[in-house]
């Protein structure tokens, strides 16, 4: 589904990713781990099309289509979703309005009918209940005054409503306590599907105890330097990244 080959990305002329190659088939969850500054968030932003992240070489395809040729909104309409490490607060825009507007924009871009208000409310209530989000929170400005855990659960709610083909979770576990971590992980696991791929970016193995990825990759020295099963995450937790960075 997602195929990244020899990807090179620079920010203000500084090389951040230098020949990264990664493939994620449909139906699989892959985790990327690595030290600070290795380029994990840069990978997520480059895939999403964030301005300032210049792709200087390589290719990325989603379902066989050239992802890099698309604008960020077009990538979203094709089914790419990015959960932010630090979700943005948007005062004056209720979360309900934000989510419904984004959902209908994607429907229109794909030539599908917009979701009716009753159907939307029915779906969003069910998803919010599963994520233990008080419905009154959805009437407030998006992420305004939310705790770190509430912001991350709101990101997963958006993912559940948008139902992406490719979900990228950039350090979703950052700032979560144990209870919030389990709730978020349950929300991610509920989205597992034979026609959906997920890329989970994390520093810590504890999130992967709950999500249990199909593959784990180590990103160090600007590229993927090792891959393995879930046991690789446990090895990283015990040994750290030094030997991988040195080898790279």
Interval 3-10 mean pLDDT: 97
DSSP bridge partners of 82: 168
pLDDT tens column, 80-118: 999 988 899 999 999 999 999 999 999 999 999 999 999
Instruction: With beta carbons less than 8 A apart as the criterion, state whether 185 and 29 touch.
Output: no
Name the average pLDDT for the chain: 92
Which pLDDT belongs to residue 247?
Answer: 57
Q: What is the pLDDT of residue 240?
A: 84
Range from 80-84, 103-107, 153-157, 172-176 carrying the lowest mean pLDDT:
172-176
Question: Alpha helices of 1-140 — where are they, by DSSP H?
Answer: 40-48, 72-77, 95-109, 117-130
3 state SS of 117: helix
Residue 248 has pLDDT above 60, yes or no: no
Looking up residue 56, the CATH number of its domain turns out to be: 3.40.50.300
Q: What is the pTM of this model?
A: 0.91
pLDDT in tens, 213-224: 999 999 998 899
Query: Stretch 133-148: mean pLDDT, rounded?
Result: 93
Exposure of 181 in the CB half-sphere (CA atoms within 13 A)? 16
Split into its structural domains, the chain has a count of 1
Residues 136, 144: Cα–Cα separation, whole Å: 13
Ranges 146-160, 174-188, 193-207: which has the least confidence? 174-188
| pLDDT per residue as tens digits for the range 35-64 | 888 899 999 999 999 999 999 999 999 999
pLDDT-derived band of residue 241, with 50, 70 and 90 as boundaries? confident
Range of the domain at 129: 2-247
Residue 239 banded pLDDT, cuts 50, 70, 90: confident
- Stronger pLDDT, 247 or 184, i.e. the higher one: 184
pLDDT at 246: 64
């Amino acid at each position: 589904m997602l195929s990244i080959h020899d990807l090179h990305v620079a920010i203000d002329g500084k090389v951040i990713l230098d020949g990264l190659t990664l493939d994620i088939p449909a139906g699989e969850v892959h985790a990327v781990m690595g030290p600070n500054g290795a380029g994990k968030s840069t990978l997520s932003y480059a895939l999403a099309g964030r301005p300032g992240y210049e792709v200087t070489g390589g290719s990325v395809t989603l379902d066989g289509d050239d992802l890099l040729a698309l604008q960020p909104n077009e990538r979203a309409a094709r089914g790419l979703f990015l959960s932010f490490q630090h979700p943005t607060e948007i005062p004056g825009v209720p979360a309900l309005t934000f989510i419904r507007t984004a959902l209908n924009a994607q429907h229109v871009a794909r030539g599908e009918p917009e979701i009716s208000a009753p159907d939307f409310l029915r779906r969003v209530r069910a998803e919010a209940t599963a994520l233990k989000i008080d419905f009154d929170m959805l009437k407030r400005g998006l992420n305004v005054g939310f705790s770190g855990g509430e912001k991350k659960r709101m990101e997963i709610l958006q993912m559940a409503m948008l139902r992406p083909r490719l979900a990228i979770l950039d350090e979703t576990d950052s700032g979560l306590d144990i209870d919030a971590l389990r709730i978020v992980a349950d929300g991610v696991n509920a989205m597992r599907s034979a026609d959906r791929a997920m890329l989970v970016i994390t520093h810590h193995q504890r999130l992967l105890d709950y999500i249990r990825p199909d593959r784990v990759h180590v990103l160090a020295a600007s590229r993927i330097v090792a891959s393995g099963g879930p046991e690789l995450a446990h090895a990283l937790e015990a040994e750290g990244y030094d030997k991988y960075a040195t080898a790279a």
